[in-house]
Amino acid sequence: MANDVEKKTDRNLAMELVRVTEAAALAASHWIGKGQKNEADGAAVEGMRRAFDSVGIDGTVVIGEGEMDEAPMLYIGEKVGAGGPEMDIAVDPLEGTTLTAKAGPNALAVLALAEKGKFLHAPDVYMDKIAVGGGLPQGVVDLDAGVIENLRNLAKAKKCDISELTACVLDRDRHKEIIAKCREVGARVMLLSDGDVFGVMATTMPETGVDIYLGWGGAPEGVLAAAALRCVDGQMQGRLIYEDDTQMQRAIAMGLADPHQKLSITDMASGDVMFSATGVTGGTMLKGVRRMPHAAVTHSIVMRSKSGTVRFVEAFHNFDMKTWTPS
């Protein structure tokens, strides 16, 4: 009986998390295509923070909008929730602020939740990442192997030619060599302008056509992506990249004993993990918020590592026409 109650509580909590990412996405959607990324981000942060007030947890933000003096809400260390089990929270209220401002694809509202102490406390630095989806032999790719070697091993595991693989990479000058190596052996490259949580998650969804994620992105986003992959038996490795000694000392102060450690997926997100994302703008994985007079439709994904369940949730929201908040 106790296990049945625990399972029901977990399922209910997972659905509460969807309501939180929905709130952030709905708030940000007002700014789609308006060229004001800061306003979009601020709206998402406020919407997400307000929604947390009704979630039955004693939550602590460990991946958030920055330190207390940098962010008014969802800052690192902030307590959120209506009371309940102690949980750590990783959030990105709007992954893709520029995408939202320009009405580009794949902007998301994202959060992950784990037992206390189970998320890497990652500073706001770069992380070198490699990730693949589930259903593959453990160790099929390795951060310390070359791009071509990883592609060959992945093609062998997938029983396909390298030319059939698609690597997802952020479109940055720092990735010129990665892109060149992929194309040298005939692999396709999907270049993203922004959004590396989406890029990692895309490896788990056949409809995106993405087989592997490569390159540098944000370390906080790496933790969120690792949480998503944990729920579907994906694989990911990362290593923090520092621009100066101050950043390295910051990582050590946050609890990373070896600042140059090759991080496994469980170094980044361990224990029982829940993950939720809601589409802000439409993309290959999630539909964006569809607005209409006094209402909107959202499309979300929610995942749990304990059960391996992946649910897609489409929700219709009625709104107060004056405040544009859920009624």
The 10s digit of each residue's pLDDT in 128-159 is: 999 999 999 999 999 999 999 999 999 999 99
* pLDDT (tens digit per residue) in 14-68: 889 999 999 999 999 999 999 999 999 999 999 999 999 999 999 999 999 977 6
Classify domain 2-118+273-318 by CATH number: 3.30.540.10
The answer to whether residues 304 and 10 touch, using CB atoms and an 8 Å cutoff, is: yes
Domain 126-268, CATH number (from 3.40.50.10490, 1.10.10.60, 3.40.190.90, 3.40.50.150): 3.40.190.90
Is 60 exceeded by the pLDDT of residue 323?
A: no
Model pTM score:
0.91
Average pLDDT for 94-98: 96
Q: What is the pLDDT at residue 322? A: 46
Percent of the chain with pLDDT over 90: 83
Q: Which residue in this structure is represented by tokens 């959607």?
A: 29
pLDDT at 140: 97
For 203, list phi and psi in degrees, rounded to 5.
Answer: -65, -15
pLDDT band at 11 (very low <50, low <70, confident <90, very high): low
Residues of the chain with CATH 3.40.190.90: 126-268
Report the percentage of the chain scoring pLDDT > 70: 94
Q: What is the pLDDT of residues 246-305, one digit of tens each?
A: 999 989 988 888 999 999 999 999 999 999 999 999 999 999 999 988 899 999 999 999
Domain with CATH 3.30.540.10 in the chain: 2-118+273-318
CA 184, 204, 317, 30 torsion-angle sign = negative
What is each CA distance from 253 to 91, 117, 238, 242, 249, in whole angstroms? 21, 15, 19, 14, 6
